[in-house]
A = this chain, B = another copy of it.
Amino acid sequence: MKILVINPVTTARWLEEDREYLQGMADEGTEIVMVGLEKGPKSIETFHDEVYAGPEIVRLVKQLGNSVDAVMINCFADPAVDAAREVTEKPVLGPAETSMSVALHLGSAFSVISTFPNTAPWIKRQVRKLGVESRLASAVGVDIPVLDLEKNPGKTVDEIVTAAKRAIDHDGAEVIILGCTGMALLAQAVREQLPVPLLEPASVTLKMAEMLVKLGLHHHHGQLYLTPSFDKIEGY
C-alpha cells in the first residue's frame, strides 16, 4: 500500500522528518510517498495561504493519485481536500475532519488546541462544516510566535498542556486534538501530562487512510464531488 502525503507548503526541510514520523506510524507494508509544493505558501496560517496551496495540491493529486492507494493532505486546515477528491477515485483525507470524527469515540466532547490567533473561530467553522458542533467543548489558540515554536519546544509544550488542562476542567473536554500537524514531534510530551486522550492529527489521518484502503472504500463521484474537466483551466 502506498499513501501519498502532501505537505501543502514549500518548506522542504520538514519533508524528511515528517516522512520518517509517518513511516514509523505506518503498517508494515505501507509506503509513505511524501511530497511538498514547488510553489505556494511556506506555511499555512490563513485563508490567504490556503488559497495559494490549492493549485499545487490538485496538480500533485492529478499527477500522483493513480500511483498510490490513498491521499492525505498534511495540514489541519484541510486545504483543497474537496477539490482533491474530485480529481481522484482514491480516498482523500484531511487531518481536521479525520481527527474530529475519531474523537467522537473517545469521550463526550473534544477541544482543539493550536498556536494560531485565529484558531477558535477557524475551528468552529470547520466543526460546523463537518456537522459535529454539539461535540466540540472548545477551541483554543495559544499565543506563541511561530519562530518560538521550534526554538523553545519545552515552552510550547507547557503552554499547550496548560490550555488543554483548562479545556478539560472548564469546558468539559474529554479528548484533546492538536490543531496543527506540525506538532507531531511534541505530541508525546503533551500526552504524558494529560489525563485524557490526545489526538495527534497526522498519525490519526494516516491510520484512517490505511483503514479506508483496506476496506476498499472511497468517495462517490456524481453528487457533491463531480468529475471536473481539466482543460477548462487556463494558464496553469
Q: Which of chain B's residues have a CB closer than 8 A to the CB of A129?
A: 125, 128-129
- Mask: chain A, 80-124; 1 = CB below 8 Å from B; 0 = not: 101101110001010001100110111111000000111011101
Bound-state CA distance A212–B219 (Å) is 22
Bound-state CA distance A24–B72 (Å) is 26
Query: How many copies of this kind of chain does the complex include?
Result: 6
A220 near B: Cβ within 8 Å? yes
Q: Of the 9-residue stretches A14-22, A130-138, A154-162, A178-186, which lies at the interface with chain B?
A: A130-138
Bound-state CA distance A167–B202 (Å) is 34
Bound-state CA distance A68–B109 (Å) is 26
Bound-state CA distance A51–B78 (Å) is 13
Q: Which of chain B's residues have a CB closer than 8 A to the CB of A48?
A: 58, 83, 86-87, 228
**A residues lining the B interface (CB < 8 Å):** 10, 25, 27, 38-43, 45-52, 54-55, 57-58, 80, 82-83, 85-87, 91, 93, 97-98, 101-102, 104-109, 116-118, 120-122, 124-125, 128-135, 172, 174-175, 195-197, 199, 203-204, 207-208, 210-212, 214-215, 217-220, 222-226, 228, 232-236
